Chains A and B, each alone.
Chain A
Amino acid sequence: MAEIKISEISRVYGHASLSIWLKDKTAESVNIRLTQPRRNFQNLALGRRYEEVPYLMSRICGSCSFSHHLASTMAIERALGCEEKSNPARELSIIAEIIHNHAFHLYWQVIPDYTGHSSLLELLPKNQKLVQGAILLRQTAKRIKTIIAGRPMHPLGHGIGTSVQISTKELALVKQAILDAIEPAKQTAEYIASLETEFFARKAEYMCVAGADYPCMTGNLISTSGMDIPQEGCLGAAEYKTLMQQKPPVVGALARMNNRHVALSPLARKAVKASRVIFPNYNPLMNNFAQSVEVIHLLETGLKALERIEKTDDSQPRKTEGVGTAAVESSKGTIVHHYVIKDGIVKDAKVITSDEHNIRNFEQDALKLAPRFLKSRREEIVLELGKLLRAYDLCFNCASH
C-alpha cells in the first residue's frame, strides 16, 4: 500500500502526523497519530490535595486552560458538596476563552488555507482591515480573561468554592470591550461565510452540554439523536458509554449549533440568516462558520452575564470525601473531569477531552472526502485534507493529556 504522510501537521495545536493509505488508487484508511508523548495528568493528580488540582489540570492545554481549570474546579466542588449556584463570572471567563480561541483558530489557522498563504503574516499587507478585526476580537477576549482571572492563560482566583469579585470599574471595562468587538465579530462571520467551502456531509452524532442558555456549564449532556443525561455520573451512564463505543459524537461549535441554534442571540441569528446556511448542518467544514457565529452570540451573551454579576459568598466544601463529575464546553467541544476524593486527597481522576470525541470522526470524514482529491497533486490532497482537519479544530495538546 502507498502512503501519503504529513509528518508534522502545521497550523494546529500540538503535535501529530496524518497518514492516508492508498490501495489501487483508492483510500483504504486515514490515520492520525499523536507524536507527543502522553503527559498522564490523570496520574499526576493522584495523591494531591484537592485545592492544588485545578491549577495542575489547567496545564493540560494552553488554549483550553480556563475550561480545564473550571471543569476540574466544578467536579471537585460537586464531590465535596459545595453549594451549586449560578456563577456569571465563571460563565464570562469561559465565554472569553471561547472567543479568544475561535478568533485565533479562524484567523491564524483556517483563513490561510483559503487565501493560499503560508500564514496570516503573509496575508497582512493585502488585507489590513481583516487582520485588524482579528486583533480587536482577540484583545477583547484577552482583556476579559485578565480582569476576571488575572491573566489570559492558566487562570487565577477560580479556586474551589470561591466566587470571583469584580469591581464596578472593571465591569464597565469589560462591557466596553465587548461592545467594541461586536462589529469585527459580524465582519468575521461575513468573511467566513464567503469562503468557498467544499460541499460535503455525513450524518454524524453531535453532542454538547446545554441548559436553558447556550453554551452552558451546568446543563445536561445532549445529542442530536436525543440523548439527554445529567452530567453528574455521565461517564457511567449506559447511553453515553454506548455512544462512545459505537458512534463517538462530534463536539465543538458545530455540535453546539446543531443542538442549540434555536437559542442564538439576535445578532447571531441575523448572521446565520444572511449566510443562508441552515442548521442543523452535517458538513464538518461548517464548524468554521459555526465558530464565527458563536463569537457574535457569546459577545451578546456576555453582556447579559455582566448584568447578573453580583457579590456572592464563597461556598465552602461541606465534606472531605466524595465523587464528582463536571462537563464543560471548551472552544473545541465538551470536556469531562471526574474525581474520587478521600480525606481531601485525590484518589482517582479521569479526564475526557474534546479530541477523544473528534479524532475518530475526522478520520471517518477524511476517508470519505479523500477520493475527491486522490487524482490531484500531493499538495492539493494535503491542502484539502488540511482544511477538513483544521475545521475540526483538533487540539493535540489536549489529546496528549
Chain B
Amino acid sequence: MKRPKIGFFSLSCCGGCLMQTLLEEESFIKLGEIVDIVQFRLIKDSIPETEIDIAVIEGSIGSKEDRAKAEEIRKAAKQVIALGACAIEGGVQSKEGFLPLRKAIKIDWDIRGCPVDAGEFLQKIAALLVGQDISQRELSVCSECREKEFPCLINRGSICLGFLSYAGCGAACPSKGTWCLGCRGFMKESNKGMANEISGKNISHLMDFFGEEDGRD
C-alpha cells in the first residue's frame, strides 16, 4: 500500500497549534512511521509537493501571500484540515483584519481549540487515515464540566462562554477556575441571542475573542 502523504502548513498565527501536534512526541514519531510527513517547516527542510493526501493548516489569512499559499495547498491536497481557532475563526487577531481559512479555500475538516489538544489531534488523524468521519460532535463545554464535576463558573459569578461552545477540551479552563472564552467556537444550535441573560453578565464584548462568533457557514 502506498503510504499516505501528510503536509503540515502554517499561516498567520502564534504557531502554537503545530507545536501542539508534536507535544506527544512518541506518538508523533509513530505517525511518522506510518505516513510520509512531506512538509513541516517548523522541524524539517523540504521541497514543496504537488500531491498531498492530507494537508493540516494552522493560522489565519492576513496577506495576499497567505491567500496564495492556502490556494496552492488546496490545489495539492485531497483533504484539508483547518487546525485551531485561527484557521477556523480567524483567531484573536481577527479584529486586525485576519480572516478564517474558509474565506479563502474549501475546508474538509476542523480540529478545534486555542491551542488544539495534542491527543485529540492524533486521534482524529488516525481516524481520518482509516476513512472515518471526524466531525465535531454537537456538545457544549457544560457536558464536560458536569462529567468532571467542576463547580459551575456561572454559578460562581464568573465569566463563562462554555454553554455556547464546542466541547473537547476536557473543560480545561474551568478546571483551573479560569474563564472559558469559547476557543473551540460556538455550536450551530447555541443560544447566542440569550447569552447575556443566561450567564447573568454582559459578555457580548467577549463573544468574538477568538474571531467570528460562528465557526461555520
Q: Contacts of B41 on A, CB cut-off 8 Å?
A: 8, 10-11
Is B10 touching A15 in the complex (CB atoms < 8 A)?
A: yes
Q: Residues of A within 8 Å of B, CB-based: how many?
A: 50
Interface residues on B, range: 35 or more
Evaluate contact between B12 and A59: CB separation under 8 angstroms: no
B25, B66, B115, B178: the one within 8 Å of A159 (CB): B178
Q: Contact at A44–B96, with CB atoms within 8 Å?
A: yes
Cβ–Cβ contact B16 & A62, under 8 A: yes
* Other contacts beyond A10-B45, A43-B96, A138-B23: 8, CB < 8 A: A39-B93, A40-B96, A118-B46, A119-B44, A121-B37, A121-B43, A121-B44, A154-B114
Total cross-chain contacts (CB, 8 A): 130
The 15 sampled A-B contact pairs (Cβ below 8 Å) are A8-B41, A11-B45, A12-B42, A37-B63, A43-B96, A52-B209, A55-B178, A62-B18, A62-B115, A108-B42, A131-B29, A142-B23, A154-B114, A156-B172, A157-B177
What distance in Å separates the Cβ of B144 from its nearest Cβ neighbour in chain A?
Answer: 13
Inter-subunit contact B93/A44 (CB<8 Å): yes
Query: A11: shortest Cβ distance to chain B, in Å?
Result: 6
How many Å from the CB of A163 to the closest CB on chain B? 12
| Contact (Cβ within 8 A) B176 A11 | no
Establish whether residues B12 and A44, one from each chain, have CB atoms under 8 Å apart when the complex forms.
no
A13 at the interface (CB under 8 A from B): yes
Query: In the complex the two chains form, what is the Cα distance from A61 to B17 in whole Å?
Result: 10
Q: Which residues of B contact A (CB under 8 A)?
A: 10, 12-20, 22-23, 25-26, 29, 32, 37, 40-46, 62-63, 65-66, 91-93, 95-96, 98, 114-115, 172-173, 175-179, 181, 206, 209
| Measured CA separation A65–B32 after assembly (Å) | 27
Task: Evaluate contact between A152 and B114: CB separation under 8 angstroms.
Answer: no
Contact with B along A137-167 (1 / 0, CB 8 A): 0110010000001111110110100000000
Whether the Cβ atoms of A135 and B25 lie closer than 8 Å is yes
Q: Which residues of A contact B115 (CB under 8 A)?
A: 62, 151, 153-154
Asked if A151 meets B172 with Cβ closer than 8 Å, knowing A39-B62, A44-B92, A62-B14, the reply is: yes
Cβ contact of B43, chosen from A11, A15, A40, A61, cutoff 8 A: A11
Q: Are A135 and B19 in contact (CB under 8 A)?
A: no
Q: A192 to nearest B CB, angstroms?
A: 18
Q: Are B23 and A44 interface neighbours, CB within 8 A?
A: no
Q: Does A86 contact B (CB under 8 A)?
A: no
Question: Which of B13, B15, B45, B93 meets A40, CB within 8 Å?
Answer: B93
Chain A residues whose C-beta falls within 8 Å of the C-beta of B181 in the assembled complex: 55
Q: A151: which B residues are within 8 A, CB to CB?
A: 115, 172
Cα distance A63–B93 in the bound complex, in angstroms: 17
A177 CB → nearest B CB, Å: 15
Cβ-defined partner of A153 (8 Å) among B19, B45, B62, B98? B19
The reply on A60 being an interface residue by CB < 8 A is yes
B25 contacts A150, C-beta separation under 8 Å: no
Cα separation A39 to B12 with both chains bound (whole Å)? 8
CA distance in complex: A112, B17 (Å)? 22
Minimum C-beta distance from B134 to chain A (A): 22
Query: Does A93 have its Cβ within 8 Å of any Cβ on chain B?
Result: no
B43 touches A397 (CB 8 A): no
Assembly CA distance A36 to B13 (angstroms) = 9
Q: Does A26 contact B (CB under 8 A)?
A: no
Please provide the chain A residues from 24 to 55 with a CB less than 8 Å away from any CB of chain B in the complex. Answer: 35-37, 39-41, 43-44, 52, 55
Residues in B with CB closer than 8 Å to A231 are none
Q: Are A120 and B62 in contact (CB under 8 A)?
A: no
CA distance A109 to B115 in the complex (A): 21
Given contacts A63-B16, A63-B19, A157-B178, contact A10 B46 (CB under 8 A): yes
8 Å CB contact of A150 from B17, B42, B172:
B172
Residue A217 interfacial (CB < 8 Å): no
Cβ–Cβ contact B172 & A37, under 8 A:
no
Nearest to A164 among chain B residues (CB) is B176
**Complex CA distance for A52 and B178, rounded to whole angstroms:** 11
Residue A56 at the chain B interface, CB threshold 8 Å: yes
A108 to B40, CA, bound (A): 11
Picked from A12, A44, A150, the residue with its CB within 8 Å of the CB of B176 is: A150
Smallest beta-carbon distance A357→chain B, Å: 20
Asked whether B23 lies within 8 Å of A124 as measured between CB atoms, the reply is no
- Inside 8 A of B206's CB, which chain A residues have their CB? 52
Q: Are B15 and A13 interface neighbours, CB within 8 A?
A: yes
**B172 and A138: CB pair below 8 A?**
no
